[in-house]
Amino acid sequence: MSDTQLSAINIYPIKSMAGISLSSAYVSESGICFDRRFMLSDPEGELISARQLPEMLHFQALIKDDGLEVIAPDGDHLTLRYPELFQNYRQVTVWGTEINAQHCGIQFDEWLSEKLGRPCQLLYFGEQSQRTTATNPDKPVAFADGYPLLIISEASLADLNSRSQAPVTMEHFRSNLVVKNCEAFAEDSWKRIRIGEVEFEIVKPCSRCVLTTVDPITLNKVAHGEPVKTLANYRMLDNEVYFGQNLIPLNEGQIKETDRIEVLETKAPEQYLDNAPLSADTLSPKEQSPSQHWKNEEEIELSCIARIKETVDVVTFRFALPDTYKADYLAGQFITLNLTIDGQPVSRCYTLSSSPNRDTDIAITVKRVTHGQVSNWLHDNLQVGDKVQALAPLGEFNQTNGADKPVLLLSAGSGITPMLSIARELTDTHSERDIIFYHQARKEADLICEDELLWLARQNSKLHLLFSLSQPEKEWEGIKGRINEVQLAQLIPDLAQRAVLCCGPEGFMQHAKEFCLELGLPEDNWFEESFGQPPGIELETEVNTIKLTVNGSSFQGENQSTLLEQAEDSGISIPAGCRSGVCGACKVTLESGEMHRSSEIPLSEAEKEAGIILACSCVPETDCEISF
């Protein structure tokens, strides 16, 4: 039996704009739902695509219950609702085919025209829009180039990269379906396949255009004219280069990642002249694909590729890793940003809010904090295209990964960030775990990623959302009030049988833990991550001056402040995360001297015996020497 599987599902709601990765999707007669249902044209109705405006690739569209939200690279966004679309239709042209398309509205035209720097109009493939494929005139297609879907295997990309002077990623080809565990170009010989509930007919290979030579992250041209240069040497017929296969659905139904590819019928593959041998310095196709691991304590340069304004004081920053890297991390872990602010080095840790299952880029979600040096700097200064230095992911807030116990995610405020990563990963991997996600905010406008969470819940029947507002507006019909024992008992009757992960302000976590234990939760099933201030430490009344040495650099210290605070005041950056003695990011080795220790929560017995301490939770009592 074939073990070929579906490894990725991608849709592009607005033609030529950024895609959305899905863990499952519904396939209709005209393709995956929401895929390429919108497009831009000039005032005369001619298609505007990323071929003319590569910057379109950095615009995103988030699917909502009644429309979508368009997000510009600068974080500005505009919400579109289907009931508000204009009812008039306009004639537009997509690759020579005239289509009656529904005009979305002048306000969208003006916003996009301003953002893109040229007149344009936004159009929707509405109820009165009609278009069919060229080879199958009875099969519908929306604004896709010619056919509803495109499929490519990971092995085909590896083969291409093994011959190329400048390897590229799957994102260059904007494929809807990606498959793994097959031979290179196996898709060339498929005629009819089944994925999940849907049968597909492969109708023709996909000819590639100049857009594939634009890096979707940097928007720069790929070196040496790749990948078209190499494709022209071994995938050319009749002056066209081909990569991937176009297909049409033969029925409607659900598909999901990890679905097996069942080949129902085969055909003779196209025959191409092969004038592109494997590169002499290439050991294997696999090694040409981005595969370098981000090692512990290794600092690399991240490129900001998007700013997404989640609420009035919360922004998500998405980063691309260097070309040869993939981000290997566990949901709930954090990265350390090493920044220079006002001429001084500053390090801060931020939990990754992205899914580990999508390893080409990572994201952090940052709340602006009053007097917050780094959070305010990021909000005010970090823009798309800027670069920052970062250390590899760390952290131990992931104890339940791989378990089958039902889970309760409890969060408040910016404590939602690790929960976003966990919820996204469990959905992406089709986990069978039952997930209850309880999040507390003040008002509905403060709910971070509300629309995406609702979207995830529609994809994942195992994900149940509970939003509670402490200061709700009158029209709010959901849960009201701060977390309390009665509320938890009513909403989560099986709480005692769940693994509970909690993150948020100290008061929230303290009360949540008390309530959960009162309701019968075993303490071993409680896991928490703190974003609060350093824990309370009983200090000596007499202030003593002492000598502190960190990695060979000595400075004058005292017995009143934590080691972390004193090192930072002296210009020495120690990686740190929660600053509450919980996450373990600030582990250092006490080579000599005495410390007052207020927390050792994340330390193992072996680490304690080896002299490992937490810089955020230790106050020097004597001269000390530290290394890390």
Q: If pLDDT is split at 50, 70 and 90, which confidence band does 562 have?
A: confident
Residue with tokens 């670069």: 387
What is the b/e burial string over 138-158, where b = at least 16 CB atoms within 10 angstroms of the residue's CB? Answer: ebbbbbbbbbbbbbbbbbbbb
Its CATH architecture, for the domain 407-530, is 3-Layer(aba) Sandwich (3.40)
What is the token pair recorded at 156?
């085909």
Among 7-11, 97-101, 371-375, 444-448, the range scoring the smallest mean pLDDT is 371-375
Whether residue 358 contacts residue 428, with contact meaning beta carbons closer than 8 Å, is answered with yes
The CA–CA distances, whole Å, from 282 to 29, 158, 169 equal: 42, 11, 17
- 190-193-195 Cα angle (round to 5): 140
Residue ranges covered by each domain of the chain: 5-266, 295-394, 407-530, 545-627
Question: What confidence tens digit (pLDDT) does each residue in 164-199 have?
Answer: 888 899 999 999 999 999 999 999 999 999 999 999
Give the percent of the chain with pLDDT over 90: 50
Mention every residue, 6+ apart, whose C-beta is less than 8 A from residue 198: 27, 249, 250, 251, 252, 253, 254, 255
Q: If pLDDT is split at 50, 70 and 90, which confidence band does 101 have?
A: very high
Using the 8-state DSSP alphabet, how is residue 139 labeled? S
Question: What confidence tens digit (pLDDT) does each residue in 484-495 have?
Answer: 999 999 999 999
The three-class DSSP label of residue 507 is: helix
Is-same-fold flag (5-266; 295-394)? no
> Residues 63-85: what's their mean pLDDT?
87
Residue with tokens 């249902």: 37
Query: Which pLDDT value is given to residue 487?
Result: 92
Q: Is the dihedral of CA 150, 153, 157, 159 positive or negative?
A: negative
User: Does residue 323 carry a pLDDT above 80?
Assistant: no
Q: What is the pTM of this model?
A: 0.63
Q: What class has domain 295-394?
A: mainly beta
Q: Does domain 5-266 have CATH number 2.40.33.20?
A: yes
Question: What confidence tens digit (pLDDT) does each residue in 203-224 have?
Answer: 999 999 888 999 888 888 888 8
Question: What confidence tens digit (pLDDT) does each residue in 391-415 have?
Answer: 888 877 765 544 678 999 999 988 8
Looking at residue 407, its amino acid is V
- For the chain, counts of helices (H) and of strands (E): 11, 41
Give the percent of the chain with pLDDT over 70: 93
> Residues 243-261: what's their mean pLDDT?
95
Q: Does domain 545-627 have CATH number 3.10.20.30?
A: yes
Whether residue 196 contacts residue 256, with contact meaning beta carbons closer than 8 Å, is answered with yes
Question: What confidence tens digit (pLDDT) does each residue in 232-247 have?
Answer: 889 988 888 999 999 9
